[in-house]
Amino acid sequence: MATKPERDTPGIVLAAVFILIGAVFLYDSANLLDPDSFVFPVAICVVMIVLSMAFIAWNLIRPHPDVEATAVHGSTPRRAGLVVVMLASAFVMPYVGFVVSGLGAFVALMLLAMFEPWSWSRALIYGVVCLAVVSGFYAVFAKVFLVPLPEAPFL
Amino acid sequence: MSGLDFVVAALSPFHVAIALAGVIAGTVVGALPGLTATMAIAVLVPITFSMDPASALILMGAVYTGAIYGGAYSAILLKTPGTPSAIATTFDGYPMARRGDGDLAVTLACVSSVFGGLVGAAFLLGLAPPLAKIALAFGPVEYFWLAIFGLTLISALSEGHLLKGLIGGCFGMLLTTIGVASVSADIRYTFGSQTLIGGIEPVAALIGLFCVPVLIDLVAVPGRHLKVPTETRGFRLPEALSLAWRHKFNLVRSSVIGTIVGILPGAGGSIAGLVAYSEARRSSKRTEHFGTGEPEGVEASESANNATVGGGFIPTLVLGIPGTPPDAVILGALLVQGIRTGPKLFVGEESSIVYIFIAGLFIATLLMFPTGLLIGRYAYRFIVTVPKALLVPTVAFMTIIGTYAIRNNLSDVVIMIVLGVVGWALDRCGFKPSPIVLGLILSRIAEDGFVQGWTIGTARGNVVAEFFARPISIGIIVFIFVSLFYPVIARRWRIQQEAKNGHET
């Protein structure tokens, strides 16, 4: 049995968002006086808006039979947790230093990505790996490549 | 000194040892997202001051060639190009790894990189002075068209949804315009944010759009990251060599493209890989398999990006114009050593330095074969067997420190994570990250070329002629049209032929 054509609603919503983004950029372009600054981005904005409108019109007139939005499987809290931990690590780095924020983020992400039961031996091994990875990367970047990684102000 | 003497001098134990060390160090650096060949060579420069110029060149050349190859590991195993040169490697390398052929993809990348590196070095050896003229023949308009040629790949990467791909490409290009305009130095589209004044760093965006979505999905489910092979299969070298032999024309064509793009100052390995990938896809009999784990895609990208190493040295040594960013650092180191670049470098008293270096580059590229296979095998086994609870934090940590190290800026880290989340959400709605990344990488070259070409055309009183009447531009425009429409025409022709044959039988 043939599937009933459906509208790509997420795609239509995002196309509308792209039109909005293009409009905001076009509006901000009015502040630029030098044509060298705005001729290229304005051209891109116009093309993006036209393409997005074409996408919406196409979907409204001729709905596509296979809506391609990918289904989300798995744990959403873990997904959100990963993003929050990574962002938090970046935001606290100037205050606690690279090593502390790195260790904290590593441990938090390790807990988030763990699907098996913890045991003492596993916790010990993973803890050692955590220390080795963070200190190893710190040594390579700070001491070999001389990258000025944030230091804790209290140290 | 004769040709054989140069080879003997390059084969001295010291030169072989530094070439080996350089290739290994370069491969490891290249595999870490955020760390680039330029950074690795810059760190080495002070060490090279105590060496003779030929040894210094061999060491820096070996690190450079190793780093360009090393980028393939993370591209194949983590969907994160270790260096921008490996962007096109992710398109087919990662799908190969997902289906359990990561070991084959890594070996194939090694074979292709060695082949491309040797072709680039051969051009450097035999045709450097005449080929250097190509660098001077390319003006801003040609760079603009070259970037547009790279963007035609969007049609290939959109998986049948061209409009979404094109919108994504425009979005990527628009992101690059945020910050300080490169031609006029105006501050654009920051909306009062201090964070955005520095603009969106392409490598940080690349890491965010490719790697963060993988991490987001990896942490959510208990299964393994890559399919684990049921039996031990070794390096799968015979299989990789057989594939490379079967696609020998693809390897040769991609290596020549890589060499020529490498000669063009500022173009670099990412464009070389993308253009070679586009051409490989266009001319392949398996066009529709590209993007789903087609070995030809990995071969094209990897042979082209390693060929840029030899190609990039051509304008660097002949004209004193660096072909790629690492070449600029190497040029600086050579000037400190008192070496004066120019055509006379190949025939004058200092020619022995150049020829020993080229022989050393051949040796370093050949050494990349065993070292690349070994490191690649361990990298693959590590990624396949390491528990997820260690893999996720390690990769996330690498993305944070790698992104920070690009400009020593935490804003880049925040932008990287935010773009990763945006990329993940867009992917869920069918807007793939690859076209966005293409737009990000190629936009700067396209804008600079467009604005400069526009200015020159206006000054000459004929903008249209400036863009459409220059011989090289016309050639690239023809390739753009062929690249865009050939697959459609070929498919229709095939369908017609099949229908005709069906009627006859």
**Could you tell me if B269 and B68 are in contact, meaning their C-beta atoms sit under 8 angstroms apart?**
yes
Distance CA B226, CA B385 (A): 9
| Gap from A42 CA to chain B (nearest CA, Å) | 9
Q: What is the pLDDT of residue B416?
A: 93
Does the structure show a pLDDT above 80 at A118?
yes
Range in A91-100, B261-270, B367-376, B440-449 the model is least confident about: B261-270
Mean pLDDT of B95-119: 91
- Asked if this assembly's ipTM is beyond 0.85, the reply is yes
How many percent of chain B have pLDDT more than 90?
20
For residue B505, name the pLDDT band (cuts at 50, 70, 90).
low
Distance CA A152, CA A101 (A): 10
Q: What is the pLDDT of residue B167?
A: 92
Give residue-wise pLDDT tens across range B206-248.
Answer: 888 888 988 998 898 887 766 666 666 677 888 889 999 998 9
Q: What is the pLDDT of residue A1?
A: 45
Structure tokens at B428: 């869920």
Say yes or no for a CB contact (<8 Å) between B393 and A130: yes
Which of A113, A141, A144 has its CB closest to that of B401? A141
> B114 Cβ partners below 8 Å, 6+ apart?
B306, B365, B366, B368, B369, B372
Closest CA to B267 of B124, B140, B362: B140
For residue B86, name the pLDDT band (cuts at 50, 70, 90).
confident
**Could you tell me if B307 and B255 are in contact, meaning their C-beta atoms sit under 8 angstroms apart?**
yes
For residue A39, name the pLDDT band (cuts at 50, 70, 90).
confident
Question: Alpha-carbon dihedral of residues B385, B390, B393, B398, nearest 10 degrees?
Answer: -50
Beta bridge pairs of residue B180: B187
Range in B90-94, B271-275, B298-302, B317-321 the model is least confident about: B317-321
Q: First vs last Cα of chain A: how many Å apart?
A: 69
Q: How far is CA B109 from the centre of its chain?
A: 12
- Mean pLDDT, chain B, as a whole number? 84
Mean pLDDT of B26-34: 81
Range in B157-161, B379-383, B455-459 the model is least confident about: B157-161
Q: Is B192 on the interface with A (CB under 8 A)?
A: no
Q: What is the pLDDT of residue A88?
A: 96
Q: What is the pLDDT of residue A64?
A: 64
Q: Nearest chain B Cα to A49, which residue?
A: B167
Say yes or no for a CB contact (<8 Å) between A150 and B410: yes
Mean pLDDT of B410-424: 93
Mean pLDDT of B47-75: 85
**Could you tell me if B262 and B314 are in contact, meaning their C-beta atoms sit under 8 angstroms apart?**
yes
A21 contacts in chain B (CB < 8 Å): 171, 174
**Could you tell me if B128 and B120 are in contact, meaning their C-beta atoms sit under 8 angstroms apart?**
no
Which of A68, A93, A112 has its CB closest to that of B161? A68
Say yes or no for a CB contact (<8 Å) between A44 and B173: yes
Does the structure show a pLDDT above 60 at B432?
yes
Distance CA A42, CA B424 (A): 27
Q: How far is CA A28 from CA A48, A81, B65, B78, B191, in A?
A: 16, 35, 43, 38, 8
Say yes or no for a CB contact (<8 Å) between B392 and A134: no
Range in A134-148, B321-335, B371-385 the model is least confident about: B321-335
**pTM reported for the whole predicted model:** 0.80
Residue with more model confidence, B349 or B186: B186
Q: Nearest chain A Cα to B191, which residue?
A: A28
Count of beta carbons in the 10 Å neighbourhood of residue B482:
15
CB contacts under 8 A, B 10-69 vs A, are 35, 39, 43
Q: Is B394 on the interface with A (CB under 8 A)?
A: yes
**Could you tell me if B170 and B501 are in contact, meaning their C-beta atoms sit under 8 angstroms apart?**
no
Mean pLDDT of B306-317: 87
Give residue-wise pLDDT tens across range B437-478.
Answer: 888 888 888 888 888 898 899 898 888 888 988 888 998 898
Mean pLDDT of A72-78: 84
Give residue-wise pLDDT tens across range B317-367.
Answer: 887 777 777 888 888 887 777 777 777 777 767 778 888 888 888 889 999
Q: How far is CA B41 from CA B114, B152, B325, B362, B368, in A?
A: 20, 33, 10, 18, 17
DSSP string, B178-209: SEE-TTT--EES-TT-STTTT---HHHHHHHH
A129 contacts in chain B (CB < 8 Å): 390
For residue A83, name the pLDDT band (cuts at 50, 70, 90).
very high
Element (H, E) at B60: helix B53-78
Structure tokens at B478: 């023809």
For residue A3, name the pLDDT band (cuts at 50, 70, 90).
low
**Mutation site for A-interface testing, chosen from B35, B174, B217, B455 by largest number of A Cβ within 10 Å:** B174
Mean pLDDT of B66-73: 88
Q: DSSP label at B152?
A: T
Q: DSSP label at A52?
A: H
DSSP string, B96-116: HIIIIIHHHHHHHHHHHHHHH
Which of A54, A69, A150 has its CB closest to that of B163? A54
Per DSSP (E only), the strands in chain A are none
- Class of residue B224 by CB neighbours under 10 A (exposed 0-12, middle 13-18, buried 19+): middle
> A126 Cβ partners below 8 Å, 6+ apart?
A110, B389, B390
Say yes or no for a CB contact (<8 Å) between A55 and B164: yes
A34 contacts in chain B (CB < 8 Å): 181, 184, 186
Q: What is the pLDDT of residue B483?
A: 72
Distance CA A144, CA B423 (A): 33
**Mutation site for A-interface testing, chosen from B141, B388, B401, B432 by largest number of A Cβ within 10 Å:** B401
